[in-house]
Structure 1
């Protein structure tokens, strides 16, 4: 019987040769073929109508011994049923050669590429596309990407416009457009090869217009009364509500970064949150000082995480290995605002509010930017300055904590 050690040690000879794995008579046999150039590939050898036949299974070590045995067992099953394994293999190959990746496959491949490039919004893009494309348009999600038309894209966006979505519709259009650009590029890039065939010739999203009047820079600054109402009015221990309170107490750190926090990212002795590069928008690690409010919240979250044996502070109730959805925080806040007929604001507006309040209270723009983890683009910061500015960030955070304390405890 063949084993992995033996396979790795096989050396080529002047002529190709084969070695057989043990097998039963009448059901075919798995063989490894070694060519003079050193290439090794798997064969399934069998007899049908008294004629010896063979089928290629794949190259070693891409196909492991265990996988080759499984494939050989599957083919021997067809042989036992009276079918020709070679014919079965040809039919499967023909089917795979004429099938193309679906729209869903394209979006999954695009978001996987985002993850490989360190884009921490990949999960959000995938979640939104599943919500806004796969959910209402399952047939379109399963349609070959090359067959999706501009009319199909228009219908997706029109559906959500009728539901009252504005900027989200533009974001969805942007994600679909970029996914198609990815598919077009990767299939023609000699340095990158997709395992899925797309056969894309054009981008069907290109001719669907973006709604320019819905693109506006955020200007909303949340009042102290609004923050206080949300602080006290949202469910006390809901994960999404706890996440929003953590956004407030950390002076508006990005929700996407906070939701990815793990127990190991919190250093209570040093009094800091260490946001890793993978969870940071600019791809750089970011240190956030704690204050009394964020320390209390994180103490509770860490205790709960350790109790459920999960490293994630915001683990999903359905899957403890994944954090709660990126959209869960704005959805909770939006529902609370709609139910109470309150004026709308989003978790991202807390960041702008903190930036504005801290400026009014005398914190310099440079220290505010550093507190929020903005990349500093001047030559000195990029190439020479290696000071961490933690003391300045601590001072700025205490200014914010004092203001927030007055807001939360106002009568």
Structure 2
């Protein structure tokens, strides 16, 4: 006999569960604690199975019968309703984690597990915010290239060309991760390559004229301000590492006996450890700074608290105070200055200079070779460079005539023939602390 709503309401709990049957395998299971659950009994491949449809009164009698009929249609097509229900539940879970913001956060968490630097992870989360909350809630499978371009154009119209292009690349990474994790089937951001205005390449402003650079070194000596800033300004030209690496230098990384500064891979842009040889001048500056901050963690602690290093823009602000505008010199510009002047000297192998700058070369074999092959030359180059800075600070350059005799410079066993000399102040410079003649 078919069930009625009255019969269902009058079904009272008993000591043990019991069934109230309807038709075509549908029945209501009444439990001792009072719950009433819809179940469907069916057979597939000769095996009896049960399918949970829901509870009464959330699922009415009419709705339970409709669910039964839908399940029987699946059986008619040799589809197990339980399997179909499980698949639907999995797909629903995937859809719930299928918004752009969710996929982006999963990618960021993956990169964090792989050891990506905290500043890079922070920047990735900033990119998600830049795309806007409404965009972040959109299912990744429904986002079109036009939607992405609409968000990117907002930044392009404001003149933020670099941001717009970086955002496109980030969105593309998120979609590629979505494809790899079976939550998307394409990367619509890839189709937008070339759609945005390309920003003009901007190089960090830097002083590459040796005479003007000497004036900067003298200006640094006259800096009036926090001692940590003064010594950071003095040491940066000698070591020419990235501003973030300089300001976060720790005493535990300095080995005075071996005259080296070891930067762990976690601090490096290329995620590889880097060792910097320290000249006599650099060691002297560090020794003087040790008397001021040696009891703390950081070589150059913040003015506000010794628990943190100097802030991001401290060195740039100090350069502004010294009268050097941002279009003439920046903290990062010391790297450009060193690279230009060292290459201009003609003494040093360009690969050794690149290693000193912690630039990564392509190819795993060549990268391993470059990490060790130029160490002796880098040690000599570090002292030569500091000696040269001292000479510039004192207002002069020492030159010899290119027509006199060839030189054997500070490079390892390298004799430079006169034909390779170039007519520049650096090309014939011999520091007065070490003169070597061919």
Q: TM-score, normalised by structure 2?
A: 0.52
Q: In structure 2, list runs of 5 or more residues that go unmatched.
A: 1-30, 38-88, 397-438
The answer (yes or no) to whether the contact 2:265–2:274 under 8 Å persists in 1 is yes
Q: Does 1:250 align with 2:247?
A: no
The 5 Å alignment of 1:147-296 reads 147-185=142-180, 187-188=181-182, 199-210=183-194, 211=196, 213-214=198-199, 216=201, 218=203, 221-223=206-208, 225=212, 228=216, 231=220, 236-237=225-226, 247-251=236-240, 253-255=241-243, 257-258=245-246, 261-291=249-279, 292-293=281-282, 296=285
Taking the aligned partners of 1:358 and 1:202, their CA distance within structure 2 comes to 47
**CA displacement, residues 291-313 of structure 1 (integer Å, 9 cap, x when unaligned):** 43476368748964854xx5796
SS of residue in 2 equivalent to 1:355: helix
Return the offset for 1:273.
Answer: 0.8
Counterpart in the other structure of 2:338: 354
Which structure has more relative contact order (CA 8 Å, sep 6+)? It is 1
Q: How far apart in 2 are the matches of 1:246 and 1:49?
A: 78
Shift of 1:181: 1.3
Aligned to 1:73: none
Residue 365 of structure 1: aligned partner? 350
Contact 1:250/1:294, CA 8 A, preserved across alignment? no
Alignment of 1:99 with 2:84, yes or no, is: no
Evaluate the alpha carbon distance shift between residue 273 and residue 342 of structure 1 in structure 2; reply closer, same or farther with a 3 A threshold: closer
Q: Cα distance 1:383–1:152, how it changes in 2: closer, same or farther (>3 A)?
A: closer
Cα distance between partner residues in 2 of 1:279 and 1:286: 9
Whole-Å Cα distance in 1 between the matches of residues 268 and 121 of structure 2?
18
May I ask how many residue pairs the two structures share in their alignment? 308
TM superposition shift of 1:272: 1.1
- Name the counterpart of 1:62: none
Q: Distance in 2 between matches of 1:287 and 1:365?
A: 18
- Deviations 1:92-122, CA, capped at 9 Å, x for gaps: 9998565125434433333343344455xx4
Q: Is the 8 A contact 2:223 2:230 kept in 1?
A: yes
Match of 1:113 among 98, 101, 110: 110
Q: Distance in 1 between matches of 2:223 and 2:134?
A: 38
Q: Structure 2: how far apart are the matches of 1:302 and 1:169?
A: 47
**Cα displacement (A) at 1:274:** 0.6
In structure 2, the CA distance between the partners of 1:383 and 1:404, relative to structure 1 (3 Å rule), is: closer
Indicate the SS of the match to 1:214.
coil
Q: Deviations over 1:57-98 (max 9, x none)?
A: xxxxxxxxxxxxxxxxxxxxxxxxxxxxxxxxxxx9998565
Contact 2:289 2:299 in 1 (8 A): no
Q: CA deviation at 1:369?
A: 2.6
**SS of equivalent to 2:189:** coil
Please report the RMSD computed on the Cα atoms of aligned residues, expressed in angstroms: 5.2
Separation (CA, whole Å) in 2 of partners of 1:242 and 1:175? 38
By how many angstroms is 1:357 displaced? 0.4
Change (3 A) 1:116 1:206: same
1:396 to 2:385 alignment: no
Maintained 8 Å contact 1:265/1:273:
yes
- How many Å separate the matches in 2 of 1:155 and 1:243? 44
TM-score, scaled to structure 1: 0.55
1:380-408: CA deviations, max 9, x gaps?
96678995644421221123223444556
Q: Contact (CA 8 Å) 2:226, 2:303: kept in 1 or not?
A: no
Could you tell me how far apart the structure 2 residues matched to 1:174 and 1:126 are? 15
